[in-house]
Amino acid sequence: MTDWTRESGASIAGAVRAGEITARSIVERHLDVIEARNPLLKAFTDVTAGRALATAERLDARRRRGEALPPLAGVPFAVKNLFDMAGLPTRAGSKINRDRPASEVDATAISRLEAAGAILIGGVNMGEYAYDFTGRNAHDGHSRNPHDPERMTGGSSGGSGGCVAAGMAPVALGSDTNGSIRVPASLCGLFGLKPTYGALSRGGSFPFVTSLDHVGPLARNVEDLAMVHDAMRGRDPRDPACWGGPAEPLAPQIENGIGGLRIARAGGYFTRLASPQALAAVETVASALEAWRVVDVPEAERARAAAFVMTMTEGAALHQDRLRQRITDFDPEVRDRLLAGAMLPGAWYHRAQVFRAWYKEAVAELFREVDVLIAPATPVSAPLVDQRVFTVEGQDMPVRANLGIFTQPISFIGLPVVAVPVWPATGMPIGVQVIAAAGRDDLALRIARHLEREGICAARVAD
Amino acid sequence: MPASDPPDFEALASALARALALPVTEETLPGVATNLALAYRLAPAFLDFPLPDTLEPAAIFDPRPNPVVAP
């Protein structure tokens, strides 16, 4: 008998559309898993069971009337709780925001996924105001990794990673400013898509650093990433940075193979502070792709520093009133970073933005020689939930600031990335970034699908 | 470019907090100073990088009014 909580979204939609199972039954089974596993894993902060069951009933009624159902019919999905959900205040991982009025309308991403037949089952945990790489949250409890609850999920989309790895939902939306989709995908052993900047609408989501904020899905397979992407694409007046994404849907392209693609490994900065496990994962992926060429991403370390300063400054600017009025209601680890960010010189921010313009062109030049780059997603696999420091190459590095050292230089210029999971013989998974030129999300997905088809990369539901 | 001789970050953070009316307390000062020091350590990586004077920042400003969105 099929355990539908371990199936992909595509498989679920196929079965619901064919009438092999009802959408209601799919939702009920996922709600059962949430009820059983969420007290330990702290993935969900809001379960929208009533709404989900009502949506499922409407889908089932449409099918009974003989209507053709949309492509994601019956696919449960969760959203990081910075997305507006009608009827609920948008927490954004904070204590402060839950005092705000309930949202009147859904975020654009939710509306579009529901129009495609998917079913919202709730909001999930995240690091406060998305300023986090760990999945820790002082207000809602720390997200715990379903593959080892003593370990962190990564963040800030920690609940998104946790719920998909636990079989609570086949797909969850996250946001990624500096790595917040790719880091939890890496630590939870999932596929994650950070699309090209502006490709998918952020309308109705609570911002962090608008210059760098992206939204995208985490899932257990590549087809689900592409289908969710396609359902979310299109221009949106609610997001001034949204240009609408690729003209053609991506799902039909993922089986196009990798023939003729020029694939290289990112060397230099992307190897220096990677653990042996991270380097081995890159080696596994690169060997499977026969990617022998190594290239340097020019000035990646400077890009990471500039992203770091931009994040501190824009984050502090966004929250300056809340810092002055509600200082005791912040997570202390976030509070101290925001306060420090409020003290940085404006000239630094401007210089970081000028450097960003230079770096974008320098990396675009590199992408005239290669189509896809392979790099580690995180320097290490999942640390313990309370671990403060990890050590690589004899260097102690604070976990919170450094899990994203390999993701920050990429999102800084908005390049599309698919994080793919690699499992060692024993122990926890770790992710590898498949990076393409701006607007070529299709190439990153094609490579990821090839790796999945060849059995090099796979996601698992934790037992 | 930050000074090559690192400042006393607790003193710097304390002074800036007063100047900017930021609610930094004795309890929170060490954490704020640690984060400020980290930014000062990282920033020279891009502040010292030579860039053309004519290069415009990456932030995109669109002078057209935003479209009106119905609630």
Tell me, yes or no, whether A401 lies in a domain.
yes
Of B28, B66, B71, which is closest to A105 when you measure between CB atoms? Answer: B71
Of B13, B49, B59, which is closest to A353 when you measure between CB atoms? Answer: B59
**CB neighbours of A260 closer than 8 A, spacing ≥ 6?**
none
Instruction: List the single best residue of A299, A322, A336, A412 to mutate versus B (max B Cβ within 10 A).
Output: A336
Q: How crowded is the C-beta side of A335, counted as CA atoms within 13 Å?
A: 25
What are the tens digits of pLDDT across the range B22-37? 999 999 999 999 999 9
Beta-bridge mates of residue A233: A200
Tell me, yes or no, whether A217 lies in a domain.
yes
Q: CB of A350 within 8 A of CB of A310?
A: no
Cβ neighbours, 10 Å, residue A279:
15
Tell me, yes or no, whether A141 lies in a domain.
yes
Q: Output phi, psi for A77, to 5 deg.
A: -140, 150
CATH number (domain holding residue A273): 3.90.1300.10
d(CA A196, CA A116): 22
What are the tens digits of pLDDT across the range A274-327? 999 999 999 999 999 999 999 999 999 999 999 999 999 999 999 999 999 999
Peptide bond into A211 cis (omega under 30): no
Collect all residues from B whose CB is shorter than 8 A from any CB in A.
Answer: 12-13, 16-17, 20-24, 28, 31-36, 38-39, 42-47, 49, 51-52, 55-60, 62, 66-69, 71
Instruction: Retrieve residue A230's tokens.
Output: 């396609």
**Structural domains in chain A (count):** 1
How many whole angstroms from its chain centre is CA A381? Answer: 16
Beta-bridge mates of residue A124: A44, A80
CA distances, A115 to each of A204, A219, A321 (Å): 16, 19, 37
Q: What is the pLDDT of residue B60?
A: 61
Q: Looking at CA atoms only, how far is residue A236 from chain B in angstroms?
A: 10
Instruction: Retrieve residue A138's tokens.
Output: 């002082």
d(CA A86, CA A208): 21
Tell me, yes or no, whether A430 lies in a domain.
yes
Q: CB of A286 within 8 A of CB of A376?
A: no
Question: SS3 for A442?
Answer: helix
DSSP string of A95-151, one letter each residue: SGGGGSPPPSS--HHHHHHHHTT-EEEEEE--SGGG--SS---TTT---EETTEEEE
Instruction: Retrieve residue B39's tokens.
Output: 């930014």
Question: Average pLDDT per run of 10 along chain A, which is 463 residues long?
Answer: 96 98 98 98 98 98 97 98 98 97 98 98 98 97 98 98 98 98 98 97 97 97 98 94 92 97 98 96 98 97 97 97 96 96 97 95 95 98 98 94 97 97 96 97 98 98 96
What are the tens digits of pLDDT across the range A358-373? 999 999 999 999 999 9
Tell me, yes or no, whether A459 lies in a domain.
no
Question: Nearest CA to B45 among A347, A355, A396?
Answer: A355
Tell me, yes or no, whether A319 lies in a domain.
no
Domain that holds residue A383: 4-305+341-453
d(CA A34, CA A44): 8
The single residue listed with the structure tokens 């340097």 is: A296
Q: Looking at CA atoms only, how far is residue A74 from chain B in angstroms?
A: 27
Tell me, yes or no, whether A212 lies in a domain.
yes
Task: Please name the helix (run of DSSP H) or strand (run of DSSP E) that holds residue A47, with its range, or none.
Answer: strand A44-47
Q: Backbone dihedral region of A135: left (phi > 0), alpha (psi from -120 to 50 degrees) or beta? A: left
Give the predicted TM-score (pTM) of the model.
0.96
Tell me, yes or no, whether A461 lies in a domain.
no
pLDDT grade, residue B70 (50/70/90)? low
Question: Nearest CA to B15 among B4, B6, B7, B3?
Answer: B7
Question: SS3 for A444?
Answer: helix
What ranges in B1-71 are assigned the alpha helix state H? 9-20, 29-42, 44-47
Cβ separation B23–A323 shorter than 8 A: yes
